[in-house]
Amino acid sequence: MFAQATIKLIGPVDHLRLVWQTGETVLGSVAFEEDSEATRYNVLLALQEMVTNVLRHGYQRDHSKPVEVAFEVTGDQLCVELRDQGPEFDPIAFERCGSGSAADGAAGFPAEAGGFGIMIARTVMDDVSYERRGDWNCLRMTKCVRVTAHT
């Protein structure tokens, strides 16, 4: 199976609803290795958290700046890439720096308020990576899909 969809959002639109609906449509026919329905929900939740972070922290709620989300499903993997033009910010490095110790509360949870979206993404996705490409932050999240054995 191969599927690809990209959504580009600018302006006073409901970014979260549109990203969720697009993701739901793309993921609707993807069979994940584990419970497909729960995995779809978790992938969408991780993406929603990351889009929320862009809008709230990167763009300071300024919806006039672009948010791009690209979904790509190949035979064995789902890739979701979130792109924004906010200040350079590596959420992977933040998560490692922001994770608390047992003294701060539950082990592995962020020490300060916030950071849970990054933790959710790292927990539910198989791989999360970041790179800065020119003026764009690019967060890439991947999840393995079920591979059908050929006989």
- Going along the chain from its start, the domains and CATH numbers come out as 3-144 (3.30.565.10)
Average pLDDT over residues 125-135: 96
Q: Which is higher by pLDDT, 148 or 69?
A: 69
- pLDDT, residue 39, reads 94
d(CA 105, CA 119): 15
Amino acid (one-letter) located at 90 = D
Confidence of residue 97 (pLDDT cuts 50, 70, 90): very low
Q: Which is higher by pLDDT, 140 or 31?
A: 140
Confidence of residue 138 (pLDDT cuts 50, 70, 90): very high
- pLDDT, residue 2, reads 86
Looking at every residue in the chain, the average pLDDT score rounds to: 85
Q: pTM to 2 decimals? A: 0.83
Q: β-strands 3-9, 67-73: how paired?
A: antiparallel
Confidence of residue 13 (pLDDT cuts 50, 70, 90): confident
- pLDDT, residue 69, reads 98
Q: Which is higher by pLDDT, 1 or 5?
A: 5
Which stretch of 15-24, 31-40, 87-96 has the lowest confidence by average pLDDT? Answer: 87-96
H or E element, residue 91: helix 91-98
**Strands ordered across the beta sheet of 77-84:** 3-9, 67-73, 77-84, 136-144, 127-133
pLDDT for 103 beyond 70: no
